[in-house]
Homo-oligomer: A and B are copies of this chain.
Amino acid sequence: MKLLDSGLWSLDRGRMMKSNKFIIHKKDTKTKARRGTLTTAHGTIESPFFMPVGTNATVKAIPFEDLLEMDSQIILSNTYHLYIRPGMEVIKENGGLHQFMKWDKPILTDSGGFQVFSLAKLRKIKDEGVEFQSHFDGSLHFFTPEKVMEIERTLGSDIIMPLDECVGYPCEQSQAKSACQRTTLWAKRSKDFFVKNFLARNGQLLFGIVQGSSFKDLRERSAKEIVDIGFDGYAIGGISVGEPVEVMFESLDFTMPFLPEDSPRYMMGIGMPDQMVMAVARGVDMFDTCIPTRYGRYGTVFTKQGKLVIRNGEYSVDQRPMDESCECFACRKYTRSYIRHLFNVGEILGLYLASYHNLYFYLQLMRNIRSAIEAGNFAEFQKEFLSCYNSTS
């Protein structure tokens, strides 16, 4: 870890850690849940929070006006996808990602690492970076940590994730170890680039990503190395890559003790509603997943009792709303019978209504979580939610 001894890192680490962009207003006494605020260049976000996924500069099927209406505080977009299409020249000509999609609230962009490792073809990883073929047209590209930072600067993200190496599950310990080492190396180079080239910073935040697969010692080591470099927040990466839920929470539990109390913690790519509640109880502050919109497009909607497959014949004349306890406009207005019909005949309004409800459900769940922490009864909230929610439905 010789790089860590350089004055640059410790100096800058101090600067970054003192930025006070994240403030914890209340800690739950019975769990590790926290109620806070994260300040970005495009506004302050109440935590814990969920980020709707807008891969291609749009949250699938949902106009931005609806995201505002349902009080989405931030959205996530994908560096890899935007780099491939429309490409950086188009984003630049449009004045950055906010201006391109006319969203003036915060944006987090991932690093593209996950997509390079899951979508791209013929990737060759070396310490310098990763060479890959576009999943779209087979064209050859080379991502270095520096290049990814450059892309995210062009996008104008409020929360920037550095390039990391993400492994699948199951995975050999040796492979997971090598990915951790490269992730640390790339994290240093990313921060170096950030410090040198984002001098004005414009309020942009840089997060670090912890890897380590399901191995306790690797998780600890990765967390310590990433925290040593010093970032504005810390993400638990390499989860939700095919492992059982128990293993996912184990990996989380291996990591959390080594993340600083006063920084935001981001559990990447999860999850189901019950999993988010359980993760908040462990001290997680941020979530993202395409589940609400993806499930919505395929006709599965979330309810207080669990998932409901709206296409099913049993709903053909059902006059109830998708979720009887939901107050979203789709549930206040439409019957299951109507929405089932829309899916049966392949109408866009169906997937719009289901996606809208699901996103509302996720955002409302986060509002309820925040209220419960504020009111000092998060443990009770968790117990009641989990007793009602059937995760296997």
> Residues of A at under 8 Å CB distance from B?
56-58, 60-63, 81, 85-86, 89-90, 93-94, 100-102, 316-317, 319, 333-335, 337-338, 341-342, 344-345, 347-352
Residues of chain B within 8 A of A335, CB atoms compared: 94, 100
Known: A101-B338, A333-B102, A338-B100. A349 touches B58 (CB 8 A): yes
Q: Which residue of B lies closest to A101 (CB)?
A: B338
Residues of chain B within 8 A of A60, CB atoms compared: 347-348
**What separation, in Å, do the CA atoms of A348 and B333 have in the docked complex?**
22
Contact of A90 among B86, B316, B352 (CB under 8 A): B316
A207 to B: closest C-beta gap in Å: 26
Residues of chain B within 8 A of A352, CB atoms compared: 63, 348
Contact of A56 among B61, B93, B341, B351 (CB under 8 A): B341
A selection of 26 A-B contacts at a CB cut-off of 8 Å is: A56-B345, A56-B347, A57-B338, A58-B342, A58-B348, A60-B347, A60-B348, A61-B349, A63-B349, A63-B352, A81-B345, A85-B344, A86-B316, A86-B337, A86-B341, A89-B317, A90-B316, A93-B337, A94-B335, A94-B337, A94-B338, A101-B338, A102-B333, A102-B334, A102-B338, A348-B348
**What separation, in Å, do the CA atoms of A333 and B65 have in the docked complex?**
11
**What separation, in Å, do the CA atoms of A325 and B97 have in the docked complex?**
26
Residues of chain B within 8 A of A81, CB atoms compared: 345
A245 to B: closest C-beta gap in Å: 30
User: 10 nearest interchain CB pairs?
Assistant: A93-B317, A86-B341, A58-B349, A56-B345, A61-B348, A58-B347, A102-B333, A56-B347, A85-B345, A100-B338
Excluding A58-B349, A100-B341, 12 further A-B contacts by CB distance (< 8 Å) are A56-B341, A56-B345, A57-B338, A58-B348, A61-B348, A63-B349, A81-B345, A85-B341, A93-B319, A93-B337, A94-B319, A94-B335
